[in-house]
Structure 1
């Protein structure tokens, strides 16, 4: 095992010890090498520039989770999130008998939730996760569901070998193609998600038993349960005919899916739900003759339709108050005073390390001539709570941000190297790499391996090439590392005037509706907040 690996393992071990003791842990390495033959630097500030970019519409088909709702945000924009999806027959070519009578049609999608208590009666209480509202309680939204009339394709019509791409700003296509727009299959002018557990009661002789404890068949975590119109939806499906139900391809050609449309409610600030539709379904419950032509004996049946992976999240924006500061030209040559991060069809921050290249060149020379070793390197971003307005119209800080190589859309070495896990909260894995919101309202991200890799460059030309621009975005899930395509590529110039074409955006940011405002690297005119600027620190050891 070479010395670099041994050094790295020592650093990681020390980091884990510090993480267990301090949520906003300090620089590591101070006691790794204490010999007098070494000079130890326990955290030197280096130059860093950070600036905003609003990237525009982004690909939103086939996301892992989806937004649905309406969220009013004073500091960013009001976002309405709609959703369209195809449906799949759980079982192709269903067989019916005679005298069919629909009992009910239930659309079910589980909420993200955590169990709080389990009572001796077996009843559980839950707390809903990933539902956001800037009101004191969860405010209602208007929710309608229509039969979709716009064909969702799996493949690009102009290039059949490529997958079709749909974008966040294409809501108008689906809105205009609604089937029976005045007659939705579901209509609730004041929908509010419930945190109550779902209790299923026994059914005997085709009749639901009384809702008593002894008749409980099962219990489940909270879920969205919507009663769709049995005639407008149920009868349409059951009367589709054998040819339209023979295969899923035939069924999708007949019934193009569902379009979920959310609307504002007077006096409501709205709420936004994060939902995993892949875990939901629509079930048609119906009665029919147990044997065709013999109506004296009935049987209860069900036809299940699953939500297809072919779906699109659609965003509409209003009262956009952050486009101007998020798209403003770079202030002079050293970045922005405030950094605007927004998920969904949002914005990113670009980060340049060592814009004063002589700093990096000096470290590289020391590594080559003096054997300098990087013990720790990290970036710290602090929330500008005054600008964000928490407590006066905005309740949420994103739990996590994600740093990546924005020039090549690659993960950083520190991300790949970090195998730390969190079994209870998987989204908080890779906590050594960091980016998790601390109690001090800071996001700390380690770039130790990234810097160490820079110093391995064979010459100055390679060193400059490897010092790529980094991207910082909101993250819904640190384990989601795929990218979504931008509808229109963006040309973004760095502080040196060098342009890069940006074509992709991290999917983890697309699926998060939140935003935050961070202090940038430009010193604030408010002296009290000077130390809250973006900080880039490196600690290292150098043999005498």
Structure 2
């Protein structure tokens, strides 16, 4: 026993001696490096050439977006955007069937409900909850008209022999406007008929607005029911639709075998077209909301016969089913750009760069950025010179300063996104940033940045870290100095791309989807030499320099 313990103690002593020796050697080596003046730390370089210029998107692909704008948005810098929407409808998994003995089924009410993005607050003593709406810009009234969509939204493109998904673009409003359908006096579907949201309550049509109030509906089962059943829902679009139209379209369609499956149904009833116009009622300036239409539904309530054996006067029973706003969708926008914005895009200077960068979502614009004097072939003598310096990169940033005079009081995008234009993908700094924000998913990737910095509730800068990207360029001679693209983003986690309808003069064919979804824009100081130094866009590199 004593020998065993002695061996254990001896082993521990030897191990401790080895660790001490290693620690001593490590500290001595480290001390030699730090003590001698072989490196200069934390030096800031701002001399790298940066050229940033504006690029117009033109029409962009807008089908099947996660969220879509609806409304009118007046921006004093960029202009006026009117956003419409079209969607297919989908039958429930159990296809409705209707029963009759002596009397046809009768639709009694049709309700369209689409929830807004909102946050629930306190509930008062009467049980009424308050809500705060998110992604709603402006409080004006709008004229909202909901029509039957007469333009078929295909799944696949016939020009590709039906091997590729069909694309639809932001500028196809006329296709839907020219094919809209409504109801005639008896509810029959006719071209350019009366809109379907024809309720007497003007808040559902001519004076529609994005109401933050909780929706409370009480239903009485019969005339003897004095209490009723109350259902409460979060704020959203809540419209009563023309029940005579749905009587003919749904009940009539059922007896014509138009509801046998969704393929047949979607060709027969091609969905809804949401048309937006300015209201005649004040205030009627600007109001636009980002909406997840796929969260919406149409509830169809009806009465039908119930079999009661041999009774010749069957009982009538209440039933309902939901049509979901799912399938193919398309966001349709009409832009009226300001003169300054239009001129900035048409006079863009890819060689010298632009004084102001107009970054605008939707069918808007982006900035293209070239670093280290990159030419059109991707070559750069300046980059070769930087590589020869042998620097160790500590940090690299692009800080974009907002032109506060140009932006005024317009709504500002919370975030911008920098990406590799040539390969249509995020930078390595994005991919290596694993920071998340469960409460606010839009603010993940916080190290990579691009989040607006506020002072006195106004945006002043956006800062994007691209340390790894610059380090790769300087460290590896075979790294490609790609073009960078700067856009607004609605969702930092979505890095997919959609097509531009027409390729730009600089060869850009795609744009990030999250930029298409965002209706906002910002004006940033550019890289042109005429911009004051303290506002001019520069690449800031912090490095360690070996002597």
Task: State the aligned residue count.
Answer: 479
Report if aligned partners of 1:353, 1:467 keep a CA contact under 8 Å in 2.
Answer: yes
Q: Which residue of 2 aligns with 1:131?
A: 136
- Partner residue in 1 for 2:216: 199
Question: 1:494-505 alignment to 2 at 5 Å?
Answer: 501-505=507-511
* Aligned-partner SS, 1:224: strand
Kindly report which structure 2 residues correspond to 1:36-435, keeping only aligned pairs within 5 A, or say none: 37-45=38-46, 46-98=48-100, 99=103, 100-119=105-124, 122-133=127-138, 138-159=139-160, 160-179=162-181, 180-187=191-198, 188-201=205-218, 203-205=220-222, 210=227, 216-217=230-231, 219-242=232-255, 243-266=257-280, 268-291=284-307, 297-321=315-339, 322-330=341-349, 333-355=351-373, 357-367=380-390, 372-390=391-409, 395-435=410-450
Deviations 1:176-222 (A, max 9, x none): 111231311125111101111233546545887647xxx545x4321
Q: Does structure 2 conserve the Cα–Cα contact (< 8 Å) formed by 1:480 and 1:508?
A: yes
Q: 1:276 to 1:244 in 2, by over 3 A?
A: same
TM-fit CA distance, 1:532: 1.9
- 2:11 match: none
Q: Higher strand fraction: Structure 1 or Structure 2?
A: 1
Distance, in Å, in 2 between the alignment partners of 1:287 and 1:270 is: 42
- In the aligned structure 1, how far is the partner of 2:249 from the partner of 2:335? 34
Counterpart in 2 of 1:497? none
Q: How does 1:488-499 map to 2 (within 5 A)?
A: 488-492=502-506
> Structure 1 residues 74, 48: CA separation in 2 closer, same or farther (over 3 Å shift)?
same
Deviation of 1:363 (Å) = 3.1
Which residue number in structure 1 is paired with residue 8 of structure 2? Answer: none
Closer, same or farther in 2 for the Cα pair 1:40/1:241, shift >3 Å?
same
C-alpha distance in structure 1 between counterparts of 2:289 and 2:313, whole Å? 44
How big is the shift at 1:359? 4.4
Q: Does 1:514 align with 2:532?
A: no
Query: Using a 3 Å threshold, how does the CA distance of structure 1 residues 399 and 234 change in structure 2: closer, same or farther?
Result: farther
The structure with more radius of gyration: 2
Whether the 8 Å CA contact 2:87–2:329 is kept in 1: the answer is yes
Partners of 1:157 and 1:208 in 2: CA distance: 56
Structure 2 residue matching 1:420: 3-state secondary structure: coil
Provide the secondary structure at the position in 2 that maps to 1:186: coil
CA distance, structure 1, for counterparts of residue 52 and residue 337 of structure 2: 26
3-state SS in 1 of match to 2:167: coil
SS in structure 1 of the partner of residue 405 of structure 2: helix
**SS of the residue aligned with 1:349?**
strand
Does the 8 Å CA contact 1:54/1:323 hold for their aligned counterparts?
A: no
Superposition TM-score, scaled by structure 2 size: 0.83
Rate the CA distance shift 1:319–1:44 in 2: closer, same or farther, 3 A: closer
Among 521, 531, 535, the alignment partner of 2:534 is: 531
Hey, what's the Cα distance between the residues in 1 that align with 2:224 and 2:74? 44
Comparing 426-435 with 349-358, which one deviates more in the overlay?
349-358
Contact 1:374 1:541 in 2 (8 A): yes
Structure 2 Cα separation of the partners of residues 468 and 384 of structure 1: 27
Q: State the Cα deviation string for residues 346-374 of structure 1 (Å, max 9, x = none).
A: 1010011111745432332233xxxx321
SS state at 1:167 partner: coil
* Range 195-204 or range 231-240, more displaced: 195-204
Q: Which structure 1 residue ranges, 5 or more long, are not aligned? A: 1-32, 493-500
User: Deviation of residue 491 (structure 1)?
Assistant: 2.0
Q: What CA distance in whole angstroms lies between the structure 2 residues aligned with 1:536 and 1:234?
A: 64
Segments of 5+ residues of structure 2 without an aligned counterpart are 1-32, 182-190, 199-204, 375-379
Measure how far apart 1:270 and its partner are. Answer: 2.4
- Superposition TM-score, scaled by structure 1 size: 0.83
Q: How far off its partner does 1:130 sit?
A: 0.8
The corresponding residue for 1:17 is none
